[in-house]
Amino acid sequence: MKRTVYFLVGSTLMYSPSILKSQKITPDKKVVKDIESVRVQGKTNYNSANISRKKLDFIQSNTLGETLSKIPGIQNSGYGPNSGAPVIRSLSGNRVKILENGTAVNDLSGISPDFNTDIEMNNVQNITIYKNSASVLYGGKAIGGAIDIETDYIATQLPDKKINFRGLLEGGSNSGQKQAFSAKGTIAKNWVWTVGASNQKQEMVRIPGKSKDSRCYDPNLVGFNSILQSLCQIDVDSRRVLNKSLFPYISQFAKDHMIEYELSEDDLYTFNSTYYNPADGKHYPNPKNDLYVPGQDAVKDRYRSEVNGIRDYVETKDGIIPNSHSESNSFYVGTSYIGKSFYAGGAYQNSYSYFGVPGYAIPKIPKHTHGKPSQKIEYLPINIRSLSHKAMFESGYRFTNSPISSIKLNYMGVFSKNAELLDRYRANQFAVNQHNGRMEITQQKLKFLTGTTGLDIQYREMEGNGGQRYLPNNISREIGVFTMQHLDFNSIQIDLGYRNDHVQRRAEADQKYVRSRGLSGGKLSDRDFTLHQFHSSAQWNIFKKGYLKVQYNHSERAPEVNELYSGNNHFAILTEENGDDKLDKETANTIEIGTGVNLKNLRISASWYNTSYKNYIYLAHTGISREVFLVKEWRSDDTEINGIEAEAAYKADLGKLGKWEIGGYYDLVRNISVADSSIRKWSDGDYMPNMPTSRFGFNLEGTLQNFSLNLSLDHYLQQKYLGKNINPELPMPAFSLLNARLAYKDNSLGFGELEYYIIGNNLLNTEARLQNSQLKFLSPLPGINISVGMKITI
C-alpha cells in the first residue's frame, strides 16, 4: 500500500490535463462540435464512443439500454418496454458502471433487472461509452465497461445570454406523451442558475401479434420442460407416457403373458430382436414395431409428455404487452459561482417513476394442503415504484506556476426508495443512502507526458422491508486511488494506468428477514477485498490517415451484495435466489487490437478482443424448484469472452442537395465456458445462455437547407452460440428494425429557434424478441410507433 501511495503522489508532480473530455474543469467557454454519427475514437486513451445531444435526438428512448442499443457492441437488457440497462459485449449489471458527470449513480439494475438506472434522459447533453474495461478510471464495477453521462444540472461555464431556455412537447401513437423544459441564466456577474423538469406517461404498449412466443403453446416443447413453463408463465396439464416410437420391436413374450404376469406397457416394447421362451429354452423372433422411428436417444427420449391442456397464469390480450403502463417525472434546480480560475456549484434533483413489468407473481406461496382441496393461486402484475433525491456538488480550481495544473472535486448523495409491488401490494422495498466523492488532480503539461491522478470514495447503505424481501440489510464501502498517464511521441502514443481499490461488504440480518432453505448467503460473513487494476496501450498513428492500437487490461471486481448475501424468493426474476458469501473476486485479462482509417470523407474502424475471466460469477440453475420458484445459486467458473466489431462511414457534400453520411456496422460476441465443470455444462452449457446475438446495420443521415433526416436499419441474426437452462436454449427468430426521424428548423422567430419533427420506430411493425432478454418469451419489443413533437430553443 505504501508503494502505491508513493507512486500516486509522484505521478502528481509530473504533468497533465485531464484525459477525458468530461473531466475538464476550465470554466472558459467550450466549443462543442456536433457528432453526426456515433463513432469509436481511436486516438483517445480509452477506446470510447461519444454520443452528442444531436445524435440523442434521434436515438433517445425511455430507457438507457434502449437508447444505446444502436451502438456496435452494446445491446439492451430488455426487461420489458419500461426497463432496460446497457449490455456491453455480453456484460451488464454489476460489471458495467453507470456514471453521471464522472460520479457513480444509484443503480440497482445489477441487483434486480426490473429497476432502471436513475437517469433522466431529457437532461442528458452527452454520453461517453467505454466498451472495454474502464476499471482504472472507475473501479472494479467497470470491469466490463462504463457509461459516463453528462448533464447540465451544475453549470461550469457562463452562458452566452442572460437567459437560455429549451422546451419539448411530444406525443406518440405507441410511446405516450412527454413534456420537458430546462433553463439557465445569470443571477449576477459570476453566478449562474439552472432549473428544469420533465414528465412522461403511457397507458400501454402495442405490438403486432401475441405477447408470448408461439413456442410457449407447443406441447412438444413445454410438456416436460418445467423451466420453459416458468419462463412462459403457463400451467401445463400433462402426464408422462412411454414413447412407443423409440423401440424397434414388440415383445411377443409380454403379449402372450400380459395378464398372467401382470405386465405393463413398459414391458411390451423392447430393443431386443428375439425373446427367450422358458418353456422350451429357445429364442424366437419378436415382431417389428410399426411405430418405430430410428435415431432417438434411448435414455433421453424414453418417455414423452402427453399434454391435455395449456393455461396462462393470467390471460393475455393480443396486440398489447401486458402491464406495460409507465409514468415518470423529475425536477432539478442548481446554482454555480464561476470565476477566472475557480468555480463551484451545487444542484438538487428529484425523480419519481412508476411502471409495470410484463410478468406476474404471487403475493404468498401456497401451503401444502395435505389432501384437502387445493388453494387457488392468485397471480398479480409486477410493478416498480422509485423515488429518488440527489444532492450534487462540483468544484474546480486551475493553478498557475505550479506542478499541478488543476484540481476537481465531485460529490453526489443519493437517497432513494425502490419498491417492487405486486399490483399495489409492496412485496419488498430497499431504501438506499449512497454517498460518492471523487477528486481528480491533473498535472502541468510537459513535452510528451500528460496524466491525471485521483481518489474515489463510496459508501452505500441498503435497508429493506416487505414480505418478499430477498436481501438482508447491508453496507458497502469502497475507496480507490488511481493514476492514468499518457505519453505522446507524435506517431507513437503510450498509455499506462494503475488503480488500487479496497472494498467492504457487510450484511446485517434482522428478525424480519426470513431466509430460504437454500444456500441463502451462507453465514452472511463479512467480506473484504483488495483489487488491483492495470491498463496499458500503444497506438501507432500512420501518416495521420489511420492507426493501429493494442491494449491490455488487468481488472478485478468484488462480488456485489446480491451475489454474496441473497437468500429468498426474488419474484421479479421468478427465482429463489441464493448468494454465496464465500465467493472470491473476479479477475479479467483483456487484449484488444483495433485499427482504423480516417480519410477525408471515409472512416473505417475494426477491433478484436479477448477476455479471460477467472471466477466469473453467474446465477446458475440447481435443477430444483420449490412451489412456483426455480432455485438458483450464485456460482463462479472460468469463462472466455471474445468478439469483433467493425464500422464504416462515408460523408458526401452534394452542394444544393445537402450534406449526407451513410454508414454501416457489424458486431459479434461469444461468452464461452472454459472451466472443466460438469455441473456448469449440465446446467448452463458450453455457452452462457441469454447472450446478445450478432447484428449488422446501416444508417443514413443528412441535412438539406432547414430539413434533417435520419434513417437506420438494424438486423439481428438468429443466435448460433446457445447455452442451456438445464434444457437446451431456444433461439429467437431473426428480425429487423427500421427507424426514421425527419425534422424542420424554423429560425423566423427572431428570438429563438423552433424544431418540428416526426419519428417512426419499428416501421416494419416486426415481432422482435431479444435473445438476451430474460422476458423474451413474455414480451417482444414495442410495435410500430409514430411520434410528433416540437422543440423550442431561446
pLDDT tens profile 697-728: 999 999 999 999 999 999 999 999 999 888 89
Give the pLDDT confidence score for residue 28 in this predicted structure: 38
Q: What sign has the CA pseudo-torsion 17, 20, 25, 27?
A: positive
Higher pLDDT, 702 or 189: 702
Measure the CA angle with vertex 402, ends 399 and 406; round to 5°: 35
In whole angstroms, what is the distance from residue 82 CA to residue 74 CA? 18
pLDDT tens digits, one per residue of 557-612: 999 999 999 998 887 777 889 999 999 999 999 999 999 999 989 999 999 999 99
C-alpha cell at 335: 446554482
Residue whose C-alpha is closest to residue 95's, from 641, 672, 664: 641
Q: Is pLDDT above 70 for 20?
A: no
Contact 152, 72 (CB under 8 A): no
Distance of CA 667 to the CA centre of its chain: 17
C-alpha cell at 253: 413374450
Measure the CA angle with vertex 449, ends 444 and 451; round to 5°: 65
pLDDT tens digits, one per residue of 492-527: 999 999 999 999 999 988 888 888 888 999 999 999
C-alpha cell at 535: 491498463
Question: Is 268 part of any domain?
Answer: no
Highest mean pLDDT among 147-161, 238-252, 757-771: 757-771
Residue whose C-alpha is closest to residue 643's, from 667, 666, 664: 667
Question: Is 248 part of any domain?
Answer: no
Higher pLDDT, 86 or 106: 86
Predicted confidence band of residue 46 (pLDDT cuts 50, 70, 90): low
Question: Is 300 part of any domain?
Answer: no
Give the pLDDT confidence score for residue 375 in this predicted structure: 58
Contact 91, 65 (CB under 8 A): no
Contact 314, 360 (CB under 8 A): yes
Q: In terms of C-beta density within 10 A (0-12 exposed, 13-18 middle, 19 or more buried), how is residue 60 classed?
A: middle
Give the pLDDT confidence score for residue 575 in this predicted structure: 83
pLDDT tens digits, one per residue of 247-301: 999 998 888 888 887 888 788 999 999 988 888 888 999 999 999 999 888 887 8
Query: Cα torsion at 759, 321, 98, 165 (round to 10°)?
Result: 40
* Average pLDDT for 413-424: 91
Q: Is pLDDT above 60 for 149?
A: yes
Residue whose C-alpha is closest to residue 692's, from 732, 632, 737, 727: 732
pLDDT tens digits, one per residue of 615-659: 999 998 887 877 667 889 999 999 999 999 999 999 999 999 999
Q: What sign has the CA pseudo-torsion 116, 118, 123, 129?
A: negative
Contact 100, 119 (CB under 8 A): yes
Question: Is 405 part of any domain?
Answer: yes
In whole angstroms, what is the distance from residue 671 CA to residue 638 CA? 11
Residue whose C-alpha is closest to residue 202's, from 167, 180, 174: 174
Give the pLDDT confidence score for residue 278 in this predicted structure: 81
Contact 695, 722 (CB under 8 A): no
Longest dimension (CA), the chain: 116
pLDDT tens digits, one per residue of 300-314: 788 887 888 999 999
pTM of the model: 0.86
**159 to each of 80, 155, 184, 360, how far by Cα in Å?**
40, 8, 8, 49
One-letter amino acid at 154 equals I
Question: Is 244 part of any domain?
Answer: no
Question: Is 696 part of any domain?
Answer: yes
In whole angstroms, what is the distance from residue 199 CA to residue 184 CA? 19
Residue whose C-alpha is closest to residue 415's, from 461, 378, 473: 461
Q: Is pLDDT above 80 for 227?
A: yes
Q: Please, which residues bridge with residue 455 across strands?
A: 439, 481
* Average pLDDT for 669-684: 89
Query: Other C-beta atoms within 10 Å of 684: how many?
Result: 24
Q: What sign has the CA pseudo-torsion 561, 566, 572, 574?
A: positive
The residues near 300 (Cβ < 8 Å, ≥ 6 apart) are none
Domain that holds residue 466: 2-208+318-793
In whole angstroms, what is the distance from residue 624 CA to residue 466 CA? 25
**Helices of type H across 677-730:** 678-683
One-letter amino acid at 542 equals I
CATH number of the domain to which 102 belongs: 2.40.170.20
Give the pLDDT confidence score for residue 638 in this predicted structure: 95
Structurally, how many domains does the chain consist of? Answer: 1
Q: Please, which residues bridge with residue 716 across strands?
A: 695, 735
Q: What sign has the CA pseudo-torsion 631, 635, 638, 640?
A: positive
Question: Is 124 part of any domain?
Answer: yes
Question: Is 84 part of any domain?
Answer: yes
C-alpha cell at 25: 474543469
Give the pLDDT confidence score for residue 11 in this predicted structure: 37
Residue whose C-alpha is closest to residue 72's, from 99, 40, 119, 94: 40
In whole angstroms, what is the distance from residue 603 CA to residue 501 CA? 38
